[in-house]
Structure 1
Amino acid sequence: MAAILVIVALGLAIVGWNLGSKGEPSKGANVAPETISPEPLGHPVLVAARDLAAGERPADLEDALRLAYFPEPPASTFSALDQLPDTRLARPLAEGDVLRESGFVGGSALAEVVPPGFRAVGVGIDAVIGGGGFLAPGDRVDVLYFAEAQGEGGERHRLARRLFADVSVLGVGERLVGVDGDDEKGGERTAVLAMPETETARLLLAETTGRLRLAVVGSEEAAGFGEGIDDLRMMAGGASFLPVSLGQSLSEPGQTVSFEELTGVERPAAKRAPAPPQTGYRVVQHVGASRSVVTLP
């Protein structure tokens, strides 16, 4: 009897062990397999994510760009945003077009801040002419002109007048508007002014025939024309607020400016020398078909 009970107990133990091993979840059954994203094939190249117009600056439009992958990298392209030049597009781009080095406007940092229809003209300055040495890029100035001329009779004409009002200063010395650089002042010898294309000859003639002085416009008064040096970059996109008039069409050559027009002083007409007094008698002689005048004492 005891042997039978032992056999039954062993059988129950075996059955229980089998049931327990079947109910136990296998290790790792609920662990999701790792998803390995395949690496993109090819070389990354920046392309336009939407249509871009000429004059836009892609470096400031990260949402307008995306990466596309090519089996071989096209020549003169960019693979990252930090490789883009801080310049504007020379031509429009359609969505999906590749950004290339040749598609950007070239030029120096100065050319970037010159508004359309204007020219950057340098004039000589010193501590007196340049606002007492405190002139800085981004200031607005009135250009004053002094001239002295001598008349026919020896009299001297002196005059002073304001030639241009509210002119933008693009640079002073090696400092340029909108560009980080050395803020040290005092030794500059040139100032770069943004002049309308049709007025550059007038400024050149004024500097070579007289003396110039730059009068700085107060910040409160200049605020009516825009605040901060970023406004100069906005002008390059076509929204110019420079009060100096552009004058005639930009396609026409600049008008010639004379010294008299510049100064407003008309020189007296040259007097004719009196004719010498006539002496003797004049006799007309006719010899055949010829005619001559003879003076007799």
Structure 2
Amino acid sequence: MNSRVTMGFAVLLLIGAVIAGYWGLVLSRPSPAPTAIPLAQAPAASVAAPVVQTVDDSLRQPVLVLVHDLAPNTPLTAADLTLERVKVAPAGSFNKIEDGVGRSALRALAAGTWLSESSFDAGGSLARMIRPHERALAVAVDEVIGAGGQLSPGDYVDVMLFLPQDASNADKSAQLVIPALRLLSVGELLGPTVDGQAAGNRELSSDERLKLEQRRSSARTVVLAVPEQMLSRLMLATQSGILRLAVRSAEEKNLQRYWAGDNDLVARLDSTNRNLLHFNQLTLSTAPKPPTVASAARAPRGIEIIRGNQVTQQTP
């Protein structure tokens, strides 16, 4: 055999031996032992989620909620109601199905509404925004009267009155008629009810609120919450002269005091202490008025004495 062929064959055998030896070493190594999971930790991972879920459910409270839309004066059945568990239950909400079965509301209620005693109270939106000693009175406004169109429900305003000079009023005057009246609505935009719910017992969508906000600046009427004893004064003022609504600072926290049950806010801020005023009493002038022609004509005349053909006047 040729020497070169023999040498090449030997090289091939050497390479094959090296490869075979390498694979032998690889296959002879022991496989790594699987990592042991501590028995104390394995059950904890599987049990942690149910434990947290159980604790979370125990902290939730049941709230009675409408399943379907409810038409006015329609008695509720058990099929119309369900209990939802929430972390914070709304104040005054029912927590049992029996609390709502057989009851009917005087207004339409939407599905998803949580039920309370106020859900079945009589009255519309404005009637549920005031207390028994108050009255809701609408006042016509424009951009000037309404503080440049910047009024919002919940603001507190002073009602100012300007009296022009005319036949019934000898002097011009400007005065504060009633201080610190709460705005219930501006145009179609309503504030919250006395129990903190949205007017109409539903929350407005973002699009609905945006449309109402856009129309707020051009509103032509506002509704004020007026104490009953001052209702006649405001009514007289609206017909006597020119009104202005002066907005009070939010730092006075009058709205917070109202929700806290402060019923005497307006009475304490009012210094005039008047209940019913005549038009002439609204002027602040104290100067005596000059006698009119009519009063001069009513001055006492002398007594006419006739003696024969002589007539004389004698003043008593």
What TM-score do the two structures reach when normalised by structure 2?
Answer: 0.51
Equivalent position of 1:132 in the other structure:
148
Letter in 1 for 2:265: P
Q: 1:240 to 1:295 in 2, by over 3 A?
A: farther
Residue 158 (structure 1) aligns with? 172
SS in 1 for 2:231: helix
Aligned to 2:96: 66
Taking the aligned partners of 2:246 and 2:103, their CA distance within structure 1 comes to 51
Structure 1: distance between partners of 2:255 and 2:104: 38
Could you give the per-residue CA deviations for residues 129-157 of structure 1, whole angstroms, max 9, x where no partner exists? Answer: 101111111111111110024468xx841
| Pair 1:257-2:277 in alignment | yes
Identical-residue share of aligned pairs (%) = 28
Q: CA deviation at 1:257?
A: 2.2
SS in 2 for 1:121: strand
Q: Residues 144 and 174 from structure 1, CA distance in 2 versus in 1: closer, same or farther, beyond 3 angstroms?
A: same
Q: Name the structure 1 match of 2:124.
A: 108
Q: Which of these residues, 207, 211, 217, is aligned with residue 238 of structure 2? A: 207
Whether the aligned pair in 2 keeps the contact of 1:146 and 1:158 (CA below 8 Å) is yes
Residue 69 of structure 2 aligns with which residue? none
Whichever residue aligns with residue 174 of structure 2, its letter is A
Query: How far apart are 1:76 and its partner, in Å?
Result: 4.2
What is the distance in 1 between the residues matched to 2:166 and 2:307?
43
1:245 to 2:267 alignment: yes
In the alignment, structure 1 residue 123 sits paired with structure 2 residue 139: yes
Aligned AA (2:306):
Y
Post-superposition shift, 1:261? Answer: 2.5
8 Å contact from structure 1 (residues 44, 68) kept in 2: no
Query: By how many angstroms is 1:210 displaced?
Result: 0.6
1:141 alignment partner in structure 2: 157
Q: TM-score, normalized by length of structure 1? A: 0.54
* Equivalent residue in structure 1 for 2:227, among 196, 200, 206: 196
Q: Tell me how far 1:219 sits from its aligned partner.
A: 1.8
CA distance in 2: counterparts of 1:177 and 1:143, whole angstroms: 19
Amino acid at match of 1:210: G
Corresponding residue for residue 291 of structure 1: none
In the other structure, the counterpart of 2:20 is none
Q: 2:247 aligns with which of 186, 195, 216?
A: 216
| Alpha-carbon spacing, 1:226–1:43, altered in 2? closer, same or farther (3 Å) | closer
> In structure 1, what is the Cα distance between the partners aligned to 2:117 and 2:283?
41
Task: Report the alpha carbon displacement of residue 260 of structure 1 after superposing the two structures with TM.
Answer: 2.5
By how many angstroms is 1:259 displaced?
1.3
Q: Does 1:88 align with 2:118?
A: yes
Quick check: which one's helix share is greater? 2
Q: Does the CA contact (< 8 Å) of 2:160 and 2:243 recur in 1?
A: yes
Q: For 2:158 and 2:301, how far apart are their aligned partners in 1?
A: 54
Change (3 A) 1:83 1:143: closer
1:245 maps to amino acid: A
Runs of 5+ unmatched residues, structure 1: 1-41, 47-57, 90-103, 248-253, 284-293
C-alpha change, 1:159 and 1:260, in structure 2 (3 Å) is same
SS of residue matched to 1:135:
coil
Q: CA RMSD in A?
A: 4.0
Alpha-carbon distance in structure 2 between the residues aligned to 1:188 and 1:197: 25
Q: Distance in 1 between matches of 2:185 and 2:103?
A: 36
Partner of 1:168: 182
Structure 1 residues 114, 74: CA separation in 2 closer, same or farther (over 3 Å shift)?
closer
- Residue number in structure 1 paired with 2:195: none
TM-superposed deviation, 1:107: 1.1
* TM-fit CA distance, 1:246: 8.6
CA–CA distance in structure 1, aligned partners of residues 306 and 222 of structure 2: 70
Aligned residue for 1:123, secondary structure, equals strand
Q: Deviations over 1:106-141 (max 9, x none)?
A: 111111111230111111110001011111111111
Structure number having the greater strand percentage? 1
